[in-house]
Amino acid sequence: MRRSLRALALAAGVVFAARPAAAGEISYPIKSVAVVDFDYRDTSGEVRDQSREHRARLDAFMAKLRADLGADPRLAVVTIACADPPCSAGNMPPTALMDAARRAGAQLLLYGQIHKMSTLVQWGRVQIVDVASDRLLDDKLLTFRGDTDEAWLRAEAFIAQELKSGNFAE
């Protein structure tokens, strides 16, 4: 009798543990994504040196992008290590960047660039690579107007939303 009670309890435990998600619960497979620093280029020809402001805006942009993507239940943002920071596509050979992403356990690698073309117009390019297959999954190009904190944060919010609405995380 004890043996059948134990077997029944074990079977009930297995059934309970294997229950489907309750209504309203959504279960996603989690993908690890290495979000590396974006490169920045200014060819606007403006007289005043704005490199300090641009560095601060790019740092805030990257921190917010990592936080916004990390808030997505389908993603886990991982940090890569590189010998000579910044860890960016423009500062590292592609093979070194991919190797660093693999060492960090990333399944996806996200990188990009912001380019200031003129006083009013900047563009951003964001690319996502599947680390295991070394295959480009997404390549987004956008333009944004202005070179203010607000303009940069609006661009980041748009990029984060576009990335989260894509199917790369599924």
For residue range 59-69, what is the model confidence (pLDDT) as tens digits? 999 999 999 99
Q: Where along the chain do its domains lie?
A: 30-165
* Confidence at residue 39, expressed as pLDDT on a 0 to 100 scale: 97
List the Cα angle 93/95/96 in 5-degree steps: 65
For residue range 101-152, what is the model confidence (pLDDT) as tens digits? 999 999 999 999 999 999 899 999 999 999 999 999 999 999 999 999 999 9
Name the DSSP class of 19.
P
Q: What is the DSSP string of 30-42?
A: -EEEEEPBPEEEE
Confirm or reject CATH 3.40.50.10070 for domain 30-165, answering yes or no: yes
The SS3 call for residue 130 is strand
For residue range 74-104, what is the model confidence (pLDDT) as tens digits? 999 999 998 888 899 999 999 999 999 999 9
Is the pTM above the cut of 0.75?
A: yes
Name the DSSP class of 72.
S
For residue range 43-60, what is the model confidence (pLDDT) as tens digits? 999 999 999 999 999 999
What the block records as the tokens of 126 is 């964001």
